[in-house]
Amino acid sequence: MVDRIAHPFVRPELLAQALTHRSAGAPHNERLEFLGDALVNLFAAEALYARWPRADEGALTRARAELVRESALAPIGRELELGERLTLGPGEMKSGGHRRDSILADAVEAVVAAIYLDAGFEACRAVVLPWFTAAMDALPPPHKVGKDAKTRLQEWLQGRQKPLPVYELIAENGEDHAKTFRVSCTLAAPALVTEGEGNSRRSAEQAAAEAALAAIAAP
C-alpha cells in the first residue's frame, strides 16, 4: 500500500482514517475527504494553468472538472489498490462497496488530505500530481474540452448578467451502501427551481442543472 501511494507515513493513523468509510464508524474519512477535495482541485488547476498557457478560464475550468470528477478519481483509487484496504461496515462489505466509484473517489481525496497533514503541501503535491498524469495527457485540446451541465448553466446566466444558481441538498435517502441524493437548483432570473437526483451530491447537482437548462431552453 505504501509503495503504491509512494509516501511513507510518519503518522500512519492518518492513512487508516482516510481508508475508513463512515459505515464502519468513527473516526471515518469524511472530514479528510472535504480537505482532499480542495487540494485535488488546486493541484489540478495549477497543473492545467502551467500546461495550457493560452487557455481561457472556461477551458481550464472544464478541464479541471474532467480531472476531479468521480469517474476520473475512481480509477486512480483502483490503481492505488485502495479498495482492498478500505475499512467498511457490514452492509458496504456485502454490497461490494470496495468496488464502488463513489467510495473509491472519496478515498482518493481522503488519502490526499492525509498526505498533506502528514507531510505538508509541497510533499503532498509531489506525490499526488503523478497520479493525474495519464488523465491530463488524455485530455483533448483546450477548445474541445466538453462542458458539463453546471458549467453550461453558469455560462448561460453570466452571458446575460443574471445571478448564478444556488444548489441545495434537499434529501438524502437509503442505506450507506446505496444512498441517493436530491438537490434543488434555484435561479433568480428567470425565476425557476428544478431538482435532480443521483448517487452522489455532485451527480444530483448536474441533473438539477440539466433540468434547468432544459426549462430555460423550452419555447
Catalytic annotation, residues: 37, 109
Quickly list DSSP for 91-145.
HHHHTTGGG-HHHHHHHHHHHHHHHHHHH-HHHHHHHHGGGGHHHHHHPPPGGG-
Question: Do the annotations mark residue 101 as ligand-binding?
Answer: no
* Pairing state between β 180-187 and 192-198: antiparallel
56 known ligand binder: no
Per-residue CA distances from 119 to 11, 12, 21, 123, 211 (Å): 9, 12, 23, 6, 43
Annotated ligand binding at 155? The verdict is no
Are 48 and 66 contacting, i.e. CB atoms less than 8 angstroms apart? no
Single out the residue of 39, 121, 12, 107 nearest to residue 2, CA to CA: 12
Which residues are known binding-site members for Mg(2+)?
33, 106, 109
Binding site members: 33, 106, 109
